[in-house]
Amino acid sequence: MLQLIVLCIFSYLLGSIPTSVWVGKWFYGIDIREYGSGNAGATNTWRVLGPKAAIPVFVFDVFKGFAMPFLSGYLIDTFPGDTYLYKIVIGFCAVLGHIFPIFASFRGGKGVATLLGMTLGISTIPSLIALGVFIVVFATFRYVSLASLSAAMVYPFAVYFFTEPSTSLYVFSLFALALLFYTHRKNIVRLWKGEEHKFKQEK
């Protein structure tokens, strides 16, 4: 149990690294949260600062979610009961860190990239299926929010059909879906009203 607590703390702290905020401040002299959509994530970084800044932000945000649940199998000797449950708890701490980062006044991003990294570290095939859906929807409609929500809706089905039976993993997939709908609630309203902006770079 002590190992689990320590890994959860490290996972939250890793998730709390506000990649887009620090990149914006250190290299461009701006707080990314004050521009564009106001979101501290890779999408808004791309809109405001371009791909040169956004790609490293995205890669590291994915890594934040991937690292600790993936490494937990090597760092914890034995997992009593459902192995997925412990990896989910550890990984979700990184997602919480990204959304509520202690290093950035608890004003973070929506957690999509970090959640992707977490699921890749826990259930690779379902995550790749969801990522494929994201790419197709985004390429078709150019709405990042719609693509993210579509991927989240597919993920529980992919978990059900492409992983070994695990109640905790399936419950988590539904929780992740609910979480993304919550963090995208404003986007959903804009999509419904036809006011959501398609993805484009501001500069």
- Sketch the domain layout of the chain as residue ranges: 2-193
pLDDT band at 169 (very low <50, low <70, confident <90, very high): very high
Residue 10 has pLDDT above 90, yes or no: yes
CB atoms within 10 A of CB 145: 24
- Write down the H helix ranges in 16-82: 19-23, 42-49, 51-75
pTM metric for this prediction: 0.86
Q: Over the stretch 19-71, which tens digit does the pLDDT of each residue have?
A: 999 999 999 999 999 998 899 999 999 999 999 999 999 999 999 999 998 88
**Which tokens in the block code for residue 2?**
């002590």
Measuring CA to CA, which residue among 147, 172, 150 is closest to residue 159?
Answer: 172
Name residues whose C-beta falls within 8 Å of residue 21's C-beta, 6 or more positions apart in sequence. Answer: 31, 32, 33, 40, 101, 104
pLDDT tens digit string along 113-131? 999 999 998 999 999 999 9
Q: Percentages helix, strand, coil for the chain, rounded to the nearest 5?
A: 75, 0, 25
